[in-house]
Structure 1
């Protein structure tokens, strides 16, 4: 297909920039084609949403309210004027009521492009609510839509948003109009306005000119004369010519279809749709019960999925034959009837593919039915996006701006159009606010300059991200810190190995920071980075250097010798290590793709083909895995370990609360014989000694008696009673609180059980929030979370006291610390 210049221009914005655009165009200019083109050729993580179920189904996406889990009540982004009114939402109540699972959050966090179809029908406050949710979930509060590029598609001269009078009474003090362009997010950051200008539906210049007059409410006498030359109120469509009537209301269309169907002779046949999984009634794309007779005029409501395109959405025909589950439809200009089979419509949900790490569609339900609808008549609303060669238009009762234009513009020619009711100026509603918005479109020269600057900025951002290793360095720190906090459960090599990985990535990040200064200087040039030889030379050299260093880190992670006795701790450690490994492998993959240069198109395609790596390292030293030990008495170590594992099973306790690896190794090395000697072993305090001391001492004494051995405690360095003991108690107490929390207990319950204050427990859990082991959303309500984050954004994070003074009294210092820890965890 040959695409127009404006089509290619819009494609460049979507594929090669991060700039949000509004794509519009008159009826028949290819807006739907552009959407399909974007979907089929996506190089970014993309999701498609639309205001209604049918529109979403046609666009191949999901509804706005489903994707964002929005309520259907008005949203006021500023103020609390309606506090206590559950029929109105502000920022705090919207976020506090969000019910997004981890899967949905993951999709939003990885989203790069959001396409909103039929934007003319989206209310201003709905777009602001979408903006609020994305900023919150992505923790990018100062960037419109949380940094996601948005593509808004629609024609403002067609169908407007539906706003009830009582809703507009609430919204009008805060919004200039119900249209999307008067949302706060768009007013603060205007979109690039791109209009598709080539009309594919109509070829007659006089008809195109007439449609433009209707569209702009600028009808002159000649236009009215031409329009009313098609006014034939007594016209009866010949049955064989397949005219379809476009009318304003559902009841009119239903009555016409019902009457025409009953007038046909022959048996009435019923065809039931089949539904599987989740599929909401409002989203049904076809009749749940399709009633047909031979001779019925029908319209195809789906494009043919066969290679030979026998029919398309909107094609009219006559039912020629019905046999069991087979329907044959004859269309004008076709010699043979089309045998129609049932088609499946999918209800999708967006998910992040675990292998590719890309946003993908996941089928959660389906609707299967013959892709046919009775078509002697259809509402103007349902005709949007369709094309008809012959139509009878009954738009005298048009009640919404744009209805007449939508109806007239469905026709391919003036000759194929019949007016059943006269159209006067009162029917030609248009809104001056739409006309004013249309004037915001920049000149072609200005838009080309914006495109160049946007391309340059996008390439700069992608290159800078390529050499930013801060995320990997922080992930390595989280792994190392986790091992340090659970030392008694890990083998002795674990701490040294994870510290080494962290040190290596810290060194890489330090070098990258120095390179960033050079990079900023050469990227500041006017030329696009992909065309700049200086940039290419430095980038290739840097890519080779950093890929060599990252390859070493990758190997260190893959051969990490860390082992833990606790399955719980090992599982958590494995997850942290896998996150680190994934980030390192992805960055290494991208760097390798740039070793011969950076071309943005190749880079994005390369990025999309990445497959998630498999990590061979596993920290769990379970019964099936032989634990490594340098003990001079491996048999004793094995006996002690076996007894420890038995105690864990009997008492349903994690191993680190009985005896970790280091504790076992010290017992097998120093051979304590008495309770007092056992207290000198790391990991044995008064409580553990009282509970399990004699059990382990019995095994050690028997082993020593069998092998004629004496205690070796004299060779053991003295325990540092103060510093080490404090650290041990601190670590143990945090882990104990964490264990109780993982068992499902609240902070209040943990505090009572451990005889501590809630504030102390908050401090314990803050640590695990900070290393990513606890999702802060499971502890703090959305409302409090948003309030604290807003305060941090406004007052900074240097003083908890200042934050506390500017927050409601029911927010504690502990909650502030947890939110700050969560922010650091994802930086």
Structure 2
């Protein structure tokens, strides 16, 4: 990689956590960089794009499918109705979101500001709610001088109350970040400096009368292209391209052959790279729509050719560029989704569907929109009906040379539509391109942030306090000793962990900032390893407290909230302990740390899921097995004075519930059960006095319960 801008972009993505907007003129290598990054980056990466075709070309998925977003405007500070089945996230999707390091958004120029904020909303929901985009790094690739986002007038009437522009950089979440920009300068598509200078003037909205006059020298009225040259006409609208292709095909007095694609699995029509049914004739001009996957690389996406022979079994194409004959074979495109490898925990692509078809389409005409990313030797351009920002530039920049371009109508100033907002934003790009000094600071900050994340105990503190608050609010009468223990342990946690971590931060921050090579600094490694050992040892008692906490309740909503809160508390402790143990044993290295963090997160989720009981398991067990399993599962809550009696009455309540078909809490409320176990009532009067039990309970179950209690007291000599 001998391009300095691409080298810097690579360093930002690989060695920092800074968001990056990678832009550049048409033909500067943005797509090539994306594909190289996908193959070689160790970061856990997901690639998305705004359209189906763009996603297929980028080797990713659409934004709407990955984030399960509706095609509706997103209003900031609101959420879509994700309770609908279509928008619910699977556990696997949630795990992918939580464990990814890098999100690449291709063709960012077509992504609206509200769509980027919708992405932010999903990422915050499943990652870190306090950080823009949940703390995941963004790589945004695209050229704002090309195709703009589509926003209807009715949608903008709604969105304009929240955004000053529909472009991605109007995103509220993005404005909360400090993101870098790199503009690629070296153009690989055109080699003619004069033609490049004309294109740049169009791109930068600096096309004066002289520029238009130079370009309009290529206006040739009633131009009839030489067939052998393989001219393709670029139009502004789909219907125009379709009319051109249909008309030219009808002029050929040869039999037509049709080839229907084989579509298997899930492959949406909007992502089809060519027609599902190709209608072709001998003599038809075609364009390849895929790069040749064979080692010979005989054709590329955008290469023009002519069909020289054809039958039911296939056809041969002679390329205009090399005059080479190619027997065309059907090729496959895959529609994939991101999944987690169960063994390695890596994010991988899983094929959902295949589209198999000859990699060509009729090519006398093509829309400017669909020509984006392609290069043509010869093109006829009709840009007089350009209706959107950047269309004229996209059309002109598809051509390799000025001589290979023909204008079917003169270019006017009106056809060159440029958004003044983009001109203003270009100044931001120029002032936010990092130099070597800033790049070094970004890399250092990234390393320091990862170390700080390892020794950040605020998520545990939040979970700890939330757990204590829940006990204080709902269980303080039932478990006063447990509440007192939690309050005591929170004080210890604050003193021995939180306060110490603040002081420790100053130590490793000084070592990082003063070191010329913090990645290999031995003193820094020793401090980090010793710190990991200290905090790992200090965290153990809190993990034991969380494991021992049991808060039974008959209230369904409270039980759900209690379980979720305790689970969150236990998970944050378990994951932090595992990471500290790993660093204590292996030292701290950024890429290894990220990999291990994702593995621990996903392994913890697997353990949690595998510990559950499936409906099939419950169905297969005999009644005796079920009772035996329930007996073993009875967990004694904290503050219980007579654990064995608690188990006996709980077991009796479960049996009685099965016999009567009533919920267990209707037989005895949990609060009443706890009162019996602690108060040991041995006659009807004292049993009736137990809170939440009363006379009705005594009438229904008094004899049985007093029998259990008296037998227990006799066994225990009470």
Q: Normalization by structure 2: what TM-score?
A: 0.76
Q: How does 1:713-792 map to 2 (within 5 A)?
A: 715-716=717-718
CA contact (8 A) 2:261 2:355 kept: no
Deviation at 1:329, TM superposition (A): 4.6
Q: How do 1:379-778 and structure 2 match up within 5 A?
A: 379-442=367-430, 447-472=435-460, 475=463, 507=493, 510-524=496-510, 525=513, 527=515, 529-530=518-519, 534-547=523-536, 582-595=571-584, 596-610=586-600, 611-613=602-604, 615=607, 622-625=626-629, 627=632, 643-655=652-664, 658=667, 675-676=684-685, 686-696=695-705, 712=714, 715-716=717-718
Following the alignment from structure 2 to structure 1, what is the Cα–Cα distance between the partners of residues 453 and 488?
20
Name the SS for the 1:120 alignment partner: helix
Deviates more, 1:384-393 or 1:591-600: 591-600
TM superposition shift of 1:410: 1.6
- Kindly report which structure 2 residues correspond to 1:168-567, keeping only aligned pairs within 5 A, or say none: 177-182=165-170, 191-219=179-207, 227-228=215-216, 230-264=218-252, 265-272=254-261, 274=263, 276-277=265-266, 279=268, 281-304=269-292, 309=297, 311-319=299-307, 329-331=317-319, 333=322, 337-346=326-335, 348=337, 369-442=357-430, 447-472=435-460, 475=463, 507=493, 510-524=496-510, 525=513, 527=515, 529-530=518-519, 534-547=523-536
Q: Name the SS of the counterpart of 1:299 in structure 2.
A: strand
Aligned mates of 1:272, 1:629 — CA distance in 2: 60
- CA change 1:114–1:619 in 2 (3 A) is closer
Return the offset for 1:188. 6.5
Q: Aligned pair in 2 of structure 1 residues 548, 670: CA closer, same or farther (>3 Å)?
A: closer
The answer to whether residue 88 in structure 2 is matched with residue 101 in structure 1 is yes
- Cα separation, 1, equivalents of 2:472 and 2:170: 53
CA contact (8 A) 2:317 2:326 kept: yes
The 3 A distance-change label for structure 1 pair 572 and 127 is: closer
SS for the counterpart of 2:189 is: coil
Instruction: Tell me the CA shift for residue 584 of structure 1.
Output: 4.2
Q: Give me the whole-angstrom Cα distance separating, in 2, the residues matched to 1:405 and 1:238.
A: 25
CA contact (8 A) 1:55 1:118 kept: yes
Q: Mean alpha-carbon deviation: is it higher for 403-412 or for 643-652? A: 643-652
How far off its partner does 1:135 sit? 5.8
CA distance 1:670–1:91, change in 2 (3 Å): closer
Aligned in 2, Cα 1:322/1:469: closer, same or farther, shift over 3 Å? Answer: farther
Q: 1:36-69: CA deviations, max 9, x gaps?
A: 3444445555444433343334334444455566
Deviation at residue 576 of structure 1 after TM alignment: 6.7
SS of aligned partner of 1:245:
strand
Aligned-residue offset at 1:541: 1.4
Judging changes above 3 Å, is the alpha-carbon distance between structure 1 residues 308 and 583 closer, same or farther for their aligned structure 2 residues? farther
Is this contact kept in 2: 1:472–1:580, CA < 8 A? yes
Residue of structure 2 equivalent to 1:809: none
Q: 1:71 and 1:102, CA in 2 relative to 1: closer, same or farther beyond 3 A?
A: closer
CA spacing shift, 1:699–1:149, aligned 2, 3 Å = closer
Change (3 A) 1:146 1:618: closer
CA contact (8 A) 1:671 1:712 kept: no
1:641 is displaced (CA, Å) by 7.1
Separation of aligned partners in 1, 2:33 and 2:635: 64
Offset at residue 258 of structure 1 (A): 0.8
Whole-angstrom CA distance in 1 between matches of 2:325 and 2:244? 28
Q: Report the CA distance shift for 1:671/1:161 in structure 2 as closer, same or farther (over 3 A).
A: closer
In structure 2, the CA distance between the partners of 1:564 and 1:169, relative to structure 1 (3 Å rule), is closer
Alpha-carbon distance between aligned partners in 1 of 2:434 and 2:153, rounded to the nearest angstrom: 40
Any unmatched runs of 5+ in structure 1? 76-89, 705-709, 717-827
1:623 to partner: Cα distance: 2.4
Distance verdict in 2 for CA 1:266–1:481, change over 3 Å: same
The answer as to 2:34 corresponding to 1:35 is yes
- Secondary structure of 2:370's counterpart equals helix
Give how far 1:406 is off. Answer: 1.2
Q: Distance in 2 between matches of 1:664 and 1:419?
A: 88
1:392 Cα deviation from its structure 2 partner: 2.9
CA distance 1:466–1:292, change in 2 (3 Å): same
Distance 1:107 1:445 in 2: 31
Give the Cα–Cα distance (whole angstroms) in 1 for the partners of residues 295 and 487 of structure 2: 54
Contact 1:563-1:618 within 8 A present in 2 as well? no
Higher alpha-carbon deviation: 426-435 or 301-310: 301-310
**Aligned-residue RMSD, C-alpha:** 5.2
**Cα distance, 1:692 vs. partner?**
2.1
Write the mapping of 1:114-133 to structure 2, written as runs, cut at 5 A. 114-127=103-116
CA contact (8 A) 2:181 2:433 kept: no
TM-score by length of 1: 0.67
> Equivalences for 1:797-808 in 2 at 5 Å?
none
Distance 1:637 1:154, change over 3 A: closer
Distance 1:209 1:684, change over 3 A: same
d(CA) in 1 for partners of 2:673 and 2:654?
12
Q: Contact 1:473–1:505 (CA<8 Å) still a contact in 2?
A: no
- The separation in 2 between residues aligned to 1:433 and 1:465, in whole angstroms, is 38
* Contact 1:329 1:340 (C-alpha < 8 Å) held by counterparts: no
For the 8 Å contact 1:389–1:411, the answer to whether it is kept is: yes
Q: Is the 8 A contact 1:44 1:608 kept in 2?
A: no
> What is the alpha-carbon distance in structure 2 between the residues aligned to residue 646 and residue 147 of structure 1?
50
SS at 2:381 equivalent? strand
Shift of 1:612: 0.3
